[in-house]
Amino acid sequence: ISGKPNYDEMGSGLAEATRRQLPNLQLGLAEVGAIQSVRFLGVGPQGEDVYTVRHDNGASHWRIALDSKGKISTAWVTPGP
């Protein structure tokens, strides 16, 4: 929401990828608008948590996983239905 990810909560690989991709991520998420709700769907095949996020103008799906140190190692978003 702030546009300022907390890179300290991420593994180094994800932090670097987020820095590179942040402008495009922000544009895409701005198009779908403010978050209205978040729903946990379950655990994916690779152990990641899967969420559907409803926005003002659409939805997105998020997959998030932590490493053994509790840092976010995987996070990706795709358009929702």
Helix (H) or strand (E) holding 59: strand 58-66
| Residue 42 β-bridge partners | 50
Q: What's this model's pTM, rounded to 2 decimal places?
A: 0.83
CA distance 8 to 46: 23
CA distance 7 to 18: 8
Tens-place pLDDT, residues 27-69: 888 889 999 999 999 999 999 999 999 999 999 999 999 999 9
19: tokens are 């820095």
Give the residue with greater pLDDT, 72 vs 78.
Answer: 72
